[in-house]
Amino acid sequence: MTFITDTFTLAGRLIKHNLRSLDTIITVILMPIMMLLLMVYLFGGSIEIPGVSHAEYVNYVLPGILLMTIATGSAYTALRINTDKLSGMFDRFKSLPISKSAVLNGQAVALVIFMMTSTLIVLLVGFLIGFRSQANFAEWGLAILILMGFALAITWLSVPFALAAKSVDGASAFSYLVLILLFISSAFVPVTGMPKVIQVFAENQPVTHIIQAIRQLLTAQPIGNHGWIALAWIIAITLISYLLGTRIYRHV
């Protein structure tokens, strides 16, 4: 019971920081919205995708933008953790009569809540500019669970990078790795048009499977193998990152 109370108390501290940080709101919410508008209105009319009209491009691109929203949030996750480490905040936490694991778990809970809130805002903007879904309640539920799983995996993936980084700049640079995976995926265009070597990588990397699973669910299409492959990647990334992050934290 103490573990749960401590986790949510520390999560509340971080949520307050997020709400007070204009830079964070701009980075995590406004930038993905601008990217969505840019892709739909500037590039959408010139991108040719078989079976997808220019008017329907927003339906194609939105799942990738939702993951980009989470990816940009990971930069703040890494920055926040690294700042707490460098400022000696972790040493203070360790001296307090609180659950030791609640420190990192509180970070994870706060950032997943913040990421999902920003994702919801971007999704609402998508509806305003023409996004429409034929998904039923169950398909929407599965899509949201995959998004939450991705947010959790990215949050924990940022932890070991943030703890190992020697500076704030080094910690926040972690998010660029995730963004690169987004661009080398089916987020904005089909992977079939990419050079062969890049195509093979794009088809088999985790972000593509996660995007395809969400895209198929929101368009009420068969999810195929993308669902279980995406789930396997999410579980593996979360578990490995959690074990590595908690191990590093004990020696910080």
DSSP letter (8 states) at residue 98: S
**How many independent structural domains does the chain possess?**
1
Q: pLDDT tens digits, the chain, 252 residues: what are they?
A: 566 777 777 777 777 776 666 666 777 778 888 889 988 888 777 777 887 877 788 999 999 999 998 888 777 777 777 877 777 777 777 776 677 677 778 878 888 888 888 899 999 999 999 899 989 999 999 999 999 999 999 988 888 888 888 877 777 777 778 888 899 999 998 888 889 999 999 999 999 999 999 999 999 899 989 999 999 999 999 999 999 988 888 776
Domain span at 199: 2-250
Torsion of CA 144, 26, 154, 136, to 10 degrees: 10
In 87-101, which residue ranges form alpha helices assigned H by DSSP?
A: 89-95
Helix axes 102-128, 137-164, angle to 10 degrees: 130
The model's pTM is: 0.89
